[in-house]
Amino acid sequence: MALANEGGGKIILGVTDRRPRHIVGTAAFAEPGRTEAGLHDQLSHRIPVEELHTTAGRVLIVHVPARLLGTAGRLAGST
């Protein structure tokens, strides 16, 4: 996956892709604190992960921080 996140943003898990969006819940990343720690270990940046519990299901919000103009981050992985 590639992200052009110079301005930062949010990745939201547990909602439908199409509008109008509906909460469907997610079981991904069962331990948000552990997910934050793993992201920090891999990227050397703090990436907050917010967990919301609603009557419709669990939602995760990954707060992607802004990057300085002209800087790039890379994490080796599979393609």
pLDDT recorded at residue 6? 66
Neighbouring C-alpha atoms within 13 Å toward the C-beta of 10: 10
What does the pLDDT average to over 14-30? 97
Amino acid 40 reads H
Q: What is the pTM of this model?
A: 0.79
Neighbouring C-alpha atoms within 13 Å toward the C-beta of 9: 7
pLDDT, tens digit, 9 for 90 and up, residues 35-57? 999 999 988 889 999 999 999 99
DSSP secondary-structure letter at 66? P
pLDDT recorded at residue 2? 53
